[in-house]
């Protein structure tokens, strides 16, 4: 069975992996699913120092970093950043065991996929609910909600809900709404989860290793 580590940006994403992703993935052929906190300030150089150690202890490694605060992106979009993350693993064999994922644009964008649950948990008013829905309608998808420093998903959430605590509330809202509801509105995020599911299923269906036989 597959042991999976997910290198995450910070405590919020670690809680999401442990509270939401782990229970979803474990029945699908995983021996372990572990979120490993990078401690914020994500950059390619920092990632390059973390991935080799994770690959030494796990069968497969994925990532969950926000594009919005990724340091020194140098004009790369999310797909190019994912390729660059994989490229930091020099050995081709190990690189094949890495599934990079960068969230466009922020983890908080997932909360815009379930506006009713977000408002119910944080304090519902017609104005707040309409603001969440309008942001998605304007961009066409929760994953595209990002304009600039003042209107990124995290800043919109704090403006609407001053008491919003990303670490405390973010994973809880997704757990309440259900992973399926978020995936239905976020195709890029959904594709990543699907690929993780396939990793476990592939590991579960692989034939067990056969120990070498000694001389008769």
Domain residue ranges in the chain: 2-105+186-205, 107-176
Whether residue 82 contacts residue 100, with contact meaning beta carbons closer than 8 Å, is answered with yes
Comparing CA positions, the residue from 9, 33, 5, 212 lying closest to residue 98 is 5
Q: What does the DSSP assignment read for 99-130?
A: E--EESS-GGGGGGGSHHHHHHHH---HHHHH
For the chain, list residues with pLDDT below 70: 203-216
Rounded Cα–Cα distance for residues 178 and 159 (Å): 25
What pLDDT is recorded for position 201? 83
Span 7-24, pLDDT tens digits: 999 999 999 999 999 999
Angle in degrees, CA 69, 169, 119, rounded to 5:
105
Across the chain, mean pLDDT equals 91
| Residue listed under structure tokens 């930091």 | 88
Helices (H) and strands (E) in the chain, counts: 11, 5
Looking at domain 2-105+186-205, does it have CATH number 1.10.760? no
């Amino acid at each position: 069975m597959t042991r999976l580590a997910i290198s995450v940006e910070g405590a919020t994403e670690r809680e999401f992996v442990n509270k939401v992703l782990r229970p979803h993935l474990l029945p699908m052929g995983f021996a372990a699913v572990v979120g490993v906190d990078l401690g914020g300030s994500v950059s390619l150089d920092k990632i390059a120092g973390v991935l080799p150690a994770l690959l030494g202890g796990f069968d497969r490694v994925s990532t969950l970093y926000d594009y919005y605060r990724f340091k020194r992106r140098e004009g790369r979009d999310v797909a190019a950043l994912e390729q660059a993350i994989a490229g930091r693993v020099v050995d081709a064999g190990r690189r094949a065991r890495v599934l990079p994922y960068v969230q466009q644009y922020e983890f908080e964008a997932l909360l815009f996929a379930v506006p009713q649950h977000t408002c119910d948990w944080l304090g519902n008013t017609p104005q707040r609910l309409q603001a969440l829905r309008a942001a998605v309608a304007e961009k066409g998808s929760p994953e595209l909600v990002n304009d600039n420093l003042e209107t990124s998903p995290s800043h919109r959430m704090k403006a609407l809900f001053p008491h919003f605590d990303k670490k405390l509330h973010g994973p809880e809202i997704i757990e309440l709404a259900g992973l399926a509801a978020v995936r239905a509105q976020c195709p890029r995020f959904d594709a990543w989860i699907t690929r993780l599911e396939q990793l476990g299923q592939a590991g579960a269906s692989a034939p067990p290793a056969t120990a070498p036989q000694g001389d008769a």
